[in-house]
Amino acid sequence: MLIKILGSGCAKCERLEQLTRQVVADLGLTASFEHVREIDRIMAYPVMTTPALVVDEVVKVSGRLPSKEELAGWLRG
């Protein structure tokens, strides 16, 4: 599983990455993480605001921090 965090590196972007890593560990999943900070690469996705979470090239959320339960649901598939 490839997980991308889209955002400039603001506090919310860092928190999204931290939460996602925690849920991945809690679920015992294996995932690769990439933090995309470059505006041109972020604009390649259909997001209007950051932070955004992309799982296997599918945007799951943008513009807000999801709950751990939401994250777990998306990551379980």
Please indicate whether residue 13 is annotated as part of the active site: yes
What's the half-sphere exposure (Cβ side, CA atoms, 13 Å) at 64?
7
Q: Is 10 a catalytic residue?
A: yes
| Helical segments of the chain, H only | 11-27, 39-42, 68-76
Among residues 1, 2, 9, 10, the one annotated as catalytic is: 10
d(CA 69, CA 21): 13
Q: Which of 5, 13, 24, 36 is catalytic?
A: 13
The catalytic residues are: 10, 13
